Amino acid sequence: MKKSAIYLALTAVALVAAPLRADNPYQDGFRFAGSIAGAPITGGYVGGPYLGQFDTAPGVYGSTFWVWCVDFDHWISTGQAYNAWITPLDGTDFSHARNGKNGLSSPDAYRWAAYLADQMIWQTQVSPTATTKARDGAIQDAIWALLGYGSNPLTRLTNFQSTYGTGLGLSTAFWATTPAANSYSDWALITCDKIANPNCGAQEFLYRQPSGGQEVVPEPATMTLLATGLMGMAAAGRRRRKQEQSKNG
């Protein structure tokens, strides 16, 4: 095989081995692993963060990570799994997200929700105080209000800003503005696949992606296609050599 063919082959192999950065929605298997013991209670409901897992193979799930609920109208049980669309908050395509309700701003509502989720501190403390849990419980309620869930969301957001805004760096009517890009650039949404399953009733969650953004390894079909291309290139090289030998013979 000539050098040019070898170069092309190595390039194709690199494409197979190297993950692809996903800036638009992509799919993954997700399982809800439950709430965390001692979590704040908000209006009688357990607040975030909760625990989730992505699959590493069909039916096989990896280590747990934190997720935050942004969807009060849907519910999920511990151990429930679904095929999910992952929507990066720094992308532009939110077509697979639930996009809240009651006409509140989105996707900036999601971005502010990510900013607030990052302010929760109860889970980092050995023995969080009642004051800490009350604050973080209020943050959870504000996250739901940002997406329009529950009664009088704007009133709840106004009261939240009045009580906690100074400490959290939130200006008046912050929800009508766009947060700083570095406050949400590594966050994404997990939403059940409403297209494949229109009756999907699982909750929507936020999570913080690994540093550098979530990476997507090519699907097996893509890898097979590339491998087939490599074999085709090798065969073409052999035919070319035989033709050259025939001419010279």
- Which tens digits make up the pLDDT trace of 127-147? 899 999 999 999 999 999 999
In sequence order, the β-bridge partners of residue 68 are 206
Residue 117 or residue 202, greater confidence: 117
> Is 57 domain-assigned?
yes
> Is 15 domain-assigned?
no
Q: Assign 116 to helix, strand or coil.
A: helix
In sequence order, the β-bridge partners of residue 45 are 42
> Is the confidence at residue 124, as pLDDT, over 70?
yes
**Number of domains into which the chain is organized:** 1
Residue 23 near residue 7, CB atoms below 8 Å: no
What does the alpha-carbon distance between residue 155 and residue 225 come to, in Å, rounded to a whole number?
55
> Is 232 domain-assigned?
no
Model pTM? 0.76
> Is 7 domain-assigned?
no
Q: Give the structural domain span for 183.
A: 20-216
Residue 50 near residue 75, CB atoms below 8 Å: no
> Is the confidence at residue 16, as pLDDT, over 90?
no
Question: Element (H or E) spanning 40, and its range?
Answer: none
Please, which residues have CB within 8 angstroms of residue 69's CB and are 6 or more apart in sequence? 48, 50, 140, 143, 144, 203, 204, 205
> Is 58 domain-assigned?
yes
**148 in the Ramachandran plot: left (φ > 0), alpha (ψ -120 to 50) or beta?**
left
Residues 36-54, mean pLDDT to the nearest whole number: 93
Report pLDDT for 215: 39
Please, which residues have CB within 8 angstroms of residue 107's CB and are 6 or more apart in sequence? 89, 94, 97, 99
